[in-house]
Amino acid sequence: MLRDYVRRLLQLAAGIAVSSLGIVLMLQANVGLEPWSVLQQGLTLVLPISYGLATVIAGAAAIGLAVLLGESFGVGTIVNIIGCGVCIDAMLALDWVPQLHSLPGGIAMLLAGLELLALGTWMYMRSALGAGPRDALMVALARKTGRSAGVCRICADILVTVSGFLLGGQFGIGTVISALGLGSLINLNFSLLHFRPAKVHQENIAETLRYPRS
């Protein structure tokens, strides 16, 4: 039991790391931010906060809305909200990924980042320790509407993009590609990996506390 739980925690951590790297690649692609990054950058422009802290705030808002729609949250949700913010700030500070200044290279890097984000999403959702905030919202919308997770992600991303743009976030061709492409990549990856997120029970906080590991 304990070994299985540790395996799931490692899977969660790996998924967060992969997702964070994907977001950093999209930021450094410099062809327009992906939807949630538009919002998060917009928050840094109106509030004296770092990009990582803006990620935490946006994540908390997303999980709050998901809870209102009937989703619960777990250890993985909390780790995701905090962990992504810390990982993104650390990767940007270390300057491992150079910022690109050519459109073809930027689009290529953006697409690589989108794929890493989709793959990382599968990794930590598969741990079933609680979906990430944006994914919990995606699943909540999928359950409520009966639509695919990818379609719900696209709709949410469009609304988030508009909100971020109104706050002053950077909008470009990469934003359009991300808003339409991430949901499609999530659908493709989940289909290839035979993963149906709406069918997976994500362990919530109460269940984690109720069943001690031994």
**Tens of pLDDT along 51-100?**
888 988 998 899 888 888 888 788 888 888 888 888 988 998 998 899 99
pLDDT of residue 213: 53
Model pLDDT for residues 96-130, shown as the tens digit of each residue: 899 999 999 999 999 999 999 999 989 988 888 88
Residue 119 near residue 14, CB atoms below 8 Å: no
Burial class from Cβ neighbours inside 10 Å (0-12, 13-18, 19+) for residue 98 reads: exposed
Model pLDDT for residues 128-150, shown as the tens digit of each residue: 888 778 878 887 888 888 887 77
Residue 53 near residue 40, CB atoms below 8 Å: no
Cα distances from 21 to residues 15, 38, 70, 134, in angstroms, run: 10, 17, 30, 17
The torsion angles phi and psi of 197, rounded to 5 degrees, stand at: -60, -35
- Among 107-121, 178-192, 199-213, the minimum mean pLDDT is found in 199-213
Token couple for 29 = 């692609």
Question: Is residue 198's pLDDT more than 80?
Answer: no
Residue 167 near residue 39, CB atoms below 8 Å: yes
Q: Which residues, including other chains, have CB under 8 Å from residue 46's CB and lie 6 or more apart?
A: 167, 168
Token couple for 158 = 């469009």
